[in-house]
Amino acid sequence: MKPRVAIIGAGWAGLAAAITLAPAANVVLFEAGKAAGGRARRVGLGGMALDNGQHILIGAYRECLRLMRGVGVDPARVLASQPLCWHQIDGVQMQCPALPAPLHLLFGLLGAKGLCWRDKLALARVLTQLRVRRWQIGHDVAALSWLLQQGQSAALLSGFWTPLILATLNTPPAQASMQLLANVLRDSLGAAQADASRLLLPKVDLSALFVDPALQWLAANGVDVCLGQRVTAVDWQASPPQVDGAAFDAVLVATAPYHAASIVNDEKLSGLLKAWQYQPITTLYLHFEGRVALPQTMTGVQHGVGQWWFDREALSGEAGLVSVVISAEGRHSALTRAQLTERVVAEMRQQLPDLPPLRQSWLITEQRATFAANVGLSRPAIRLNVKSGYLAGDWLCADYPATLEGAARSGIAAARALMQDWKQEHDANV
């Protein structure tokens, strides 16, 4: 007999859980929004299919890539894969050749521009030290203080570490967890396969990348997807638990932490989440009158408000379109929409004198884009304190900051735990 399972939330975690459960359970997937995908989904702007925020994936996202293939998406078709490249238009530039780790990094560092030899050695030393320590920090501390202790210079901090921490952890370095940063470095720069550190830049919008094919696959595999249906109450005391009055053998809550607390209604979880903070990510879409000649598909800016510029024309063919990403809170937070746009365009014009006139712009700030990857963040367990209750979401993947891969891994892990418990209970009753 198959269990009847309710999954609440059709972000990447809920979709991953539903795909994992579909062959073995009767699944109903509830999503409050009109569209699935949560914090990584398509939005229509100016007649173009864009995203609620520019995302990047890396080769180490093995579960995301596996899920994509499973629902019929060929990653090579929808993702532009490029060797690790760090190109700040006004700062450090480093291109890692397609060699096995750590050779790719070594050669990348040797040829790096914008860093003196002393800084290159200091960077190589700290990465070697992390590798020797198997990427374990011991007692977790703030990334900034750890890096200062390791003798990383001001130039390295501003030209490499700060932008890297903001891009990967979306948290200011003074509060970001060094252990989480080390985990990300372990699975990218430190991985044995050079592929793990490759940058995978979406050529299509995020819904076309995974969400829509996943929904089609789920429908074809018997999953009942209920879009626009916000779950308002789960009765965990009922046996079996009830979701808005309907009985299910198990319930998997796959929402962001700030939504899970009210659905789960567990004092311990609410207490734990009180200490959590959230950080914004801003994506500014700039549509110019003509082609913008960026030096790289993903170009960084060290001395600017706009942190990364993405060449959307090169990636997905939208003529004259550039997306600019600004991670975490900072001095930009005080600017109005018009001021921010003006500032970013001025920064671009300073570096690219031939920049065509701006035709149109759109600014999306996701205020709670990710949880702050702070030092010593304690994560809840996948199994809830109630029978047949499970949690999934990027915040459950203890090894990672908030990422698509963390969401996918947590969804798969929760689905597997659920099926394991169900099988055990079922076998015991036979």
Ligand X SMILES: Cc1cc2nc3c(=O)[nH]c(=O)nc-3n(C[C@H](O)[C@H](O)[C@H](O)COP(=O)(O)OP(=O)(O)OC[C@H]3O[C@@H](n4cnc5c(N)ncnc54)[C@H](O)[C@@H]3O)c2cc1C
Q: Which residues bind ligand X (CB under 6 A)?
A: 8-14, 30-33, 38-40, 53, 55-56, 230-231, 254-256, 259, 263, 281, 283, 366, 369-370, 393-394, 402-405, 407
Nearer to ligand X, 263 or 413 (CB): 263
Residue with tokens 């969804």: 411
| Separation of alpha carbons 65 and 74, rounded Å | 9
Who's near 49: CB < 8 A, 6+ residues apart? Answer: 42, 204, 205, 207, 208
Largest CA distance in the chain: 75
Q: CB of residue 148 vs ligand X: minimum separation in angstroms?
A: 27
Nearer to ligand X, 259 or 387 (CB): 259
| Separation of alpha carbons 404 and 425, rounded Å | 32
Q: CB of residue 26 vs ligand X: minimum separation in angstroms?
A: 18
Q: CB of residue 97 vs ligand X: minimum separation in angstroms?
A: 24
CA distances in angstroms from 219 to 18, 27, 42, 206, 334, listed in the order given = 11, 10, 20, 19, 45
Q: CB of residue 55 vs ligand X: minimum separation in angstroms?
A: 4
Nearer to ligand X, 146 or 308 (CB): 308
Nearer to ligand X, 8 or 250 (CB): 8
Q: CB of residue 267 vs ligand X: minimum separation in angstroms?
A: 19
Nearer to ligand X, 152 or 323 (CB): 323
Contact predicate 254/7, CB 8 Å: yes
Q: CB of residue 289 vs ligand X: minimum separation in angstroms?
A: 26
| Separation of alpha carbons 114 and 353, rounded Å | 22
* Bridge partner list, 253: 8, 391
Nearer to ligand X, 41 or 104 (CB): 41
SS (H, E, C) 102-158: CHHHHHHHHCCECCCHHHHHHHHHHHHHHHHCCCCCCCCCEHHHHHHHCCCCHHHHH
| Separation of alpha carbons 104 and 313, rounded Å | 28
